[in-house]
Amino acid sequence: MLVGSVAGPRSGSYSPHFGSRSGEGLIRWFEDLMVHATPMRLLRIPEPFDHPDFLFEPKLDGFRALAHVRGHRCELVSRNVHVFKSWPQLAEEIAHAVRAHSAVLDGEICCLEPELRTHFRNLLFRREWPFFYAFDVLQINGRDVRHLPLTERKARLQAITPAVEGRLLFLDSIAGRGRDLFRVACERDLEGIVAKWGQGTYQTDRRATSWLKIKNTEYTQMRDRHELFQDRPGHGGRGKNASPPALVLR
């Protein structure tokens, strides 16, 4: 088992206002604090694998986002902590669909085609209204659930996402069979798969992760991808000088 260091507090001070009712004030303070949370990172590995302790999901090709829901409002925040403002209708639908007063969902904004294929250019150039595929949850009704194992978080996420399909969708996973899922992903021309340790906690420390990505090297939509971002600063990945996260199972 590898154990990484835990990041210290962010620079700058934050003074929460608890109000006259300490319980409600603490919940509101925690919800405000979650605005600064960053999504859990993925470590790339070259080959798929099978393991009974891991959950496997298709890797969706879109924009990673945290959906911050409070009441009937929702903000979609990028991994670089920028608010997506291009899809207000999607944010509104998420806010009304989540079966909780407040929540923070981790997921992917994507345009969908049949067989779970995503169309990145349609998303990038705003050619159609996207969906939000939720695959994890960080907070529900002011309660931090990041310390819970992934299997428990997935169960709680499914409980607060609608059973009737709309623009907010729940991304399910399969246990143990990474090679089979990767084979199907390649057959359907998907970007790849993600492997997640089932007992892992949610790490917002950018230097630690228990999530692994295995990319389909023949994925057709990745061709000439870098040219799409040459004139679009502020989009895309972590930056060319960013270091990869360390694998941490805890």
Residue (of 41, 129, 35) closest to 82 by Cα position: 35
Question: Residue 81: its pLDDT value, please?
Answer: 87
- pLDDT tens for 23-69 read 555 555 455 555 557 899 999 999 999 999 999 999 999 999 999 99
Which stretches of the chain drop beneath a pLDDT of 70?
1-36, 226-250
Question: Residue 23: its pLDDT value, please?
Answer: 54
Please, are residues 10 and 36 in contact by the beta-carbon 8 Å criterion? yes
Question: Residue 222: its pLDDT value, please?
Answer: 87
By DSSP bridging, strand 63-70 and strand 51-59 are unpaired
Question: Residue 28: its pLDDT value, please?
Answer: 57
**Residue-averaged pLDDT of the chain:** 82
Domain spans, the chain = 24-227+243-247
Question: Residue 4: its pLDDT value, please?
Answer: 29
Q: For domain 24-227+243-247, give the CATH superfamily.
A: DNA ligase/mRNA capping enzyme (3.30.470.30)
Phi-psi region of 35 (alpha: psi -120 to 50; beta: other; left: phi over 0): alpha
Question: Residue 164: its pLDDT value, please?
Answer: 81
Phi-psi region of 179 (alpha: psi -120 to 50; beta: other; left: phi over 0): alpha
As a whole number of angstroms, the distance between CA 193 and CA 105 comes to 20
As a whole number of angstroms, the distance between CA 99 and CA 191 comes to 30
Question: Residue 159: its pLDDT value, please?
Answer: 97
According to DSSP, residue 244 is labeled P
- State both tokens at 60: 């969706």
What pTM value is reported for the model?
Answer: 0.80
